[in-house]
Chains A and B, each alone.
Chain A
């Protein structure tokens, strides 16, 4: 009996689904909006590209009213070097819509970069659609830098207060209750097995900092703040560069011997292996950089494309499907955020361990 009812309910559900789809198709037949659809697609693409870029102001969202764009957020300082230091608020650039005048020079944002223009803000383009205007040296305090500073400040305050509480009482309290297992995990499961009991203490500072920094910033990227710092390749480059410098400058004799004169292989092999091993020292931090950057970028693009599908389907079935998919993917991204921080820390520890490996017989 129960089975019969459930079968009927299922059939009814299927029927409703097919009606929903049919209704939608009819609407499309009445008003074929191929032009509009294409515009929507490019708009979504532009929006995703815009989200992936750094920007000169911190705006949460924008809306249109009476044909005017309104932005909710705050401007950040723009710092340029153009025959002297030029500092002005990015509100003068007005999100690329107006020309900023500073000391008789005119600047305009074009595709996320500041160019020097004339008073009308003319951008000269070549055949490949690249601007040929002069570009001033840009040291602006952009959104990414703002987030990096904010997260650094947050981490300093959080960990300083944690350290203080441990001085008073060895039992964890407050944030310490949540973070102590993570710190211990990094020490006992990442640092000690990979670097060894003798040398690990020296690297703990870097490993903990990099783990929490990457993790917090990855998590911030999933909030509706629209922050995305780790999908800027310059940021991951700087992080990987730190790992590279630490590995190179703390390495012992044994490490260099294994690179330039691999023990235990015949001498023609040693000559062949030396350049390969030397290249390997650069490839290791390079892969760190690419991995973090590509994972977070790919995650953001996929998540935003699926959210964008809602606006393309415009029916309840497609929209709810893409909502469910976006929800599941967001959960997956939560995992990826932690996993990438873990992998970055883990591989850094592995490289430090290689640099500190003592001599042993092969």
Chain B
């Protein structure tokens, strides 16, 4: 592992973490506003989080 690889992996993790964190936070807020829609919000949240995670892993493998 060279230094650019390590820095790249770090950047990827920061990016993916920010993305998933934002999704989770917004979903929490949405559930708080509309508790009756929590099931739908959770599903949408998991899908979005999974998509970001997929991109993150693809980038990690490239790095």
Contact = CB atoms under 8 A, between A and B. Distances in A.
A81 B47 CA distance: 43
B4 to A, nearest CB: 21
A294 B61 contact: yes
* Chain B interface mostly: helix
B30 to A, nearest CB: 18
B48 to A, nearest CB: 11
B47 A346 contact: yes
A40 to B, nearest CB: 19
Interface residues of A, number: 14
Interface string B39-61: 10001001100110111011011
B57 A295 contact: yes
Interface residues of B, number: 13
Contacts, number: 32
A347 interface: yes
Q: Which 8 A-B pairs have the closest CB atoms?
A: A294-B57, A287-B54, A291-B54, A343-B50, A290-B58, A290-B57, A290-B54, A291-B50
24 contacts: A189-B39, A189-B43, A193-B43, A287-B55, A287-B58, A290-B54, A290-B57, A290-B58, A290-B61, A291-B50, A291-B53, A291-B54, A294-B57, A294-B60, A294-B61, A295-B57, A342-B46, A343-B46, A343-B47, A343-B50, A346-B43, A346-B46, A346-B47, A347-B50
Interface of B: 39, 43, 46-47, 50-51, 53-55, 57-58, 60-61
